[in-house]
Amino acid sequence: MYLTKTITDLQQHLQVAVKKGANIGFVPTMGALHQGHISLIKRALSENEYVVCSIFVNPTQFNQATDLETYPKTPAADVMLLAASGNHVLFHPDVSDIYPNGMQVKPRNLGPVSTIFEGAFRPGHFDGVAEVVSRLFNAVKPTKAYFGLKDYQQCMIIKALVELENIPISLVFCPTQRENDGLAMSSRNRRLSAEQRKTAAIIPQTLAFIRANYSYYKKDELLLAGREMLLGQLQTEYLDIVHAHTLQPLDSASDPAVALFAGRCGEVRLIDNMLLTE
Ligand code: PAF
């Protein structure tokens, strides 16, 4: 696996593959890698001749300094996991490589999906995500880029970014990878105590309950029951059922629907979602 820190070196290295006509698959990450990330690398490897993974903890997407400071970092384990996965290039830039002129975030109109749920609870978060993804896309210039559907709203934001800026990259959104008890794999799970880790399984249980009963009960009844399940276990920020394409309220029972959750298990903020209809 080729390791590089700078955009110039990365681009020089990739030139050889590009000249041979290789498709470049790209998996952007913030490190603290787990099997969810590795599943994205494997998918990228199956669809491209060359795969680049980036590890960059992007300061502009953290709306709270403590969240940035406590974000888990496991650089040695990350390199080992990536090398074993068959990934070809690890791009791990410094802040000054990605933001050479200071941490400026271009204002973008990413549409109504950017201001609700995560957009409302974490003001500025999606502006920072769009900024870094745009800069990383520009550095790597991949054929395809891979993102996990665990960050459902983020996938929609990146789709909006690609459309807004006419970026010639195909996006591939991949299914959420789950632990044996259903908890969505996330770098943040490492920050849970053993007891919190057990408690957190109520999140996928609640979402699975909503999915299993979606065709039998009214939305409000399901949400009430779901919030009851979470009560006393976690601090729920939102649990909602919305249109799967727009994240707006449902118009009819036949609309594609998704259940979205965010909440805190102690200090650790977790998000998850489940599609309720095909
Ligand atoms: O999902 C993530 O890990 C990050 O938000 C991303 C897409 C790598 C941008 O920093």
pLDDT-derived band of residue 278, with 50, 70 and 90 as boundaries? confident
Is residue 215 situated within a structural domain?
yes
Is residue 181 situated within a structural domain?
no
- Specify the pTM: 0.97
pLDDT reported for residue 31 = 98
Both structure tokens of 174: 């991949």
Pick the last residue of a domain from 147, 174, 201.
174
Q: In terms of domains, do 152 and 236 share one?
A: no
CB 51 less than 6 A from any atom of ligand 1:
no
Q: In terms of domains, do 103 and 192 share one?
A: no
Cα(69) to centroid(ligand 1), Å: 16
Q: In terms of domains, do 15 and 85 share one?
A: yes
Is residue 203 scored above 90 in pLDDT?
Answer: yes
Q: How far is residue 98's CA from residue 57's CA, in Å, rounded to a whole number?
A: 11
Ligand 1 atom at shortest distance from the alpha carbon of 29: 8
| 133, 134, 135: residue to mutate for ligand 1 pocket, most atoms within 8 A of CB | 133
Is residue 81 situated within a structural domain?
yes
CB 151 less than 6 A from any atom of ligand 1:
yes
Q: In terms of domains, do 95 and 209 share one?
A: no
Pick the last residue of a domain from 125, 153, 174.
174
| All residues at 6 or more sequence positions from 174 whose CB lies less than 8 Å from its CB, including other chains | 39, 40, 43, 146, 147, 148, 149
Ligand 1 atom at shortest distance from the alpha carbon of 30: 3
Q: Average pLDDT, stretch 170-189?
A: 98
Among the listed residues 34, 37, 88, 125, the single catalytic one is 37
Cα(70) to centroid(ligand 1), Å: 16
Residue 238 belongs to domain with CATH number: 3.30.1300.10
